[in-house]
Structure 1
Amino acid sequence: MKLARITAFSSSLLLGAVLALTGASAVSAAESAAAVDYVALGDSYSSGVGSGGYDSASGSCKRTPRSYPALWAAANAPATFAFTACAGARTGDVTAGQLGPLSAATDLVSISIGGNDAGFSDVMTVCVLQSESACLNRIAQARAFVDSTLPGSLDTVYTAIRSKAPSARVVVLGYPRFYQLKGTCAAGLSEAKRTAINNASDYLNDATAKRAADHGFTFAGVSGTFTGHEICSSASWLHSLNVLDIGESYHPTAAGQSQGYLPVFTSAA
């Protein structure tokens, strides 16, 4: 009997110790998140175009609380959150107008950039409206730009970020593949066009990942989370051509932001 009481007492002490440690860890994690100063930079994939609910104060930048940066901030309650990502932004727009909130106190930065520099919108316009050969030629031009010019433009942005936020963890988000090949689409772009567009996205991501790594930044690809949710899948997280709102075409839906981008950023942040 005495042994049983001692064993029970010891188990109680052990359980109490475990609970105390677990509670301390939870408090510590909460305090750590609350201490973060977070700045979200980039283009429409970061501002949240396509997910709706836009903040009218952001104007044509179309920032929304449904975007992955705003969702992460809502879930983690950082000490400060500055959201300057803007629809249509190119690398030069980031350096010229988005870096103001960065400082030596900044702990975390997210950014998606480079697609507009490479002419993504024009590529999709040509591929939707013109012939297969015209589409493939325009994609070849975009790939040549990614080889010759984009690395230097990304270097300029990344160097500026590091200069203004020397201690920050910088997470560079990539772009999804757009089409599920041999998917459910009965009409629209040919399989050759879809394949070339997907390959171009991979090509851009590979180039961006290399520049990010060379600057000591973390590249967070989203192709994996979007697999099975591309255009022409049965549960797409991307808008196809939207004639009622052209600007939302080929952008993530609200589900694409919350289930495609947010988990990837959360893991990398």
Structure 2
Amino acid sequence: MRHTRTALCSSALLLATACLVAAPGTAGTAPLTAGPGYVALGDSYSAGLGAGDYLPTGTNCKRSGRAYPVLWASAHKVAPFAFAACNHARTGDVLSGQLGALGAGTRLVTLTVGGMDAGFTGVMTSCALGGTSRCLSAVADARATVDRSLGARLDRLYSAIRDRAPAAHVVVLGYPHMYQLRGTCEIGLQDTARAAVNDGVDHLDALIARRAAAHGFTFADVRAAFAGHEICSSSPWLHSVDIPAVTESYHPTAPGQALGYLPVLDRVS
């Protein structure tokens, strides 16, 4: 792809704070504008929840200056850059509130989304607090939700992205496994529950990959990049239950963004 080479900011933090494009718009049918060269959409994994260095956006989106979109835009000297990803976003939230920056001039779109639609927060809460039986039940419910409704939701979102950014290379990034089995954790979930959570991630990623391919988008699988760095590994790139910053639990750390997500995006962009 062709990248805009004008360097308006020289560091990731400056890029995120000085070059941030407010992008709250809707998916409607407004005429296409030029749009930023790179637009980062999605949920907390794209916003960078868990990586720290949160930007003063005046929202609860928890956008981080260490998130992979900011790091990629800085490394590739892309400007203008729209960072619309937001904590807790579901597919409908991206569709209704994050597409405003897309335009005919947009050349790259990235996003992670679908985890919240599948019930990620409820699953991990049940698994952390409810024991193995409740965990397995919660994962099974989440898989059923993925099968029942997520495909159609992704189709609506992906179609809207293509309509608003017809020339863009769209990269849909997946989710990593949460746990290393037979790892170093002495407390917490049993391996049966940990394996079920990882299998649930596989099920979710598989559906996202199929729907992305159906729309001509690139699916970027991060599971291999995070292998050996899951929770219960000796060098985790994901938060376990994090107290007092509970909302950061089960999200990538700054190394997870820089060493997990960023190289995978580099390879496909």
Q: Shorter-chain-normalised TM-score: which range?
A: 0.7 to 0.9
CA–CA distance in structure 2, aligned partners of residues 132 and 117 of structure 1: 22
Paired amino acid for 1:229: H
Alignment of 1:1-12 (within 5 A): none
Structure 1 residue 58: Cα displacement:
4.7
Q: Does 1:262 align with 2:234?
A: no
Q: TM-score, structure 1 length as denominator? A: 0.87
Alignment of 1:246-261 (within 5 A): 246-261=246-261
Which moved further from structure 2: 172-181 or 133-142?
A: 133-142
3-state SS of paired residue (1:172): strand
CA–CA distance in structure 1, aligned partners of residues 172 and 189 of structure 2: 30
Per the alignment, residue 182 of structure 2 pairs with 182
Per the alignment, residue 127 of structure 2 pairs with 127
For residues 45 and 264 of structure 1, do their structure 2 counterparts lie closer, same or farther at Cα, with a shift above 3 Å needed? same
Structure 1 residue 32: Cα displacement:
4.2
Structure 1 residue 59: Cα displacement:
2.2
Per the alignment, residue 26 of structure 1 pairs with none
Structure 1 residue 65: Cα displacement:
1.2
CA–CA distance in structure 2, aligned partners of residues 163 and 180 of structure 1: 40
Paired amino acid for 2:131: S
Q: Does 1:83 align with 2:83?
A: yes
Alignment of 1:1-269 (within 5 A): 32-34=3-5, 37-269=37-269
Per the alignment, residue 9 of structure 1 pairs with none
Query: For each residue in 1:64-86, what CA deviation from the matched residue of structure 2 results, as whole angstroms up to 9, or x when unmatched?
Result: 11000000011111132000000
Structure 1 residue 33: Cα displacement:
4.7
Paired amino acid for 2:204: L
3-state SS of paired residue (2:99): coil
Structure 1 residue 34: Cα displacement:
1.5
Paired amino acid for 2:175: Y
3-state SS of paired residue (1:244): coil
Structure 1 residue 114: Cα displacement:
0.1
Q: Displaced runs of 4+ in structure 1, greater than 6 A?
A: none
Per the alignment, residue 11 of structure 1 pairs with none
| 5+ long unaligned stretches in structure 1 | 1-28
Per the alignment, residue 19 of structure 1 pairs with none
Structure 1 residue 133: Cα displacement:
1.4
Paired amino acid for 1:264: V
Per the alignment, residue 18 of structure 1 pairs with none
3-state SS of paired residue (1:177): coil
CA–CA distance in structure 2, aligned partners of residues 117 and 137 of structure 1: 17
CA–CA distance in structure 1, aligned partners of residues 255 and 3 of structure 2: 28
Report sequence identity in percent.
55
Structure 1 residue 131: Cα displacement:
2.6
Which moved further from structure 2: 228-237 or 75-84?
A: 75-84
How many pairs are equivalent? Answer: 240
3-state SS of paired residue (1:181): coil
CA–CA distance in structure 2, aligned partners of residues 219 and 260 of structure 1: 15
3-state SS of paired residue (2:38): strand
Which moved further from structure 2: 55-64 or 189-198?
A: 55-64
Query: For each residue in 1:146-188, what CA deviation from the matched residue of structure 2 results, as whole angstroms up to 9, or x when unmatched?
Result: 1110000000110000000011000000000010000000111
Aligned-residue CA RMSD in angstroms? Answer: 1.3
CA–CA distance in structure 1, aligned partners of residues 58 and 84 of structure 2: 9
CA–CA distance in structure 1, aligned partners of residues 57 and 88 of structure 2: 17
Query: For each residue in 1:64-121, what CA deviation from the matched residue of structure 2 results, as whole angstroms up to 9, or x when unmatched?
Result: 1100000001111113200000000000000110000001111000000000000000
| 5+ long unaligned stretches in structure 2 | 7-35
CA–CA distance in structure 1, aligned partners of residues 202 and 131 of structure 2: 22
Structure 1 residue 57: Cα displacement:
1.5
Instruction: Please state which structure has a larger fraction of its residues in helix.
Output: 1
Paired amino acid for 1:115: G
User: Does the 8 A contact of 2:4 with 2:37 survive in 1?
Assistant: no
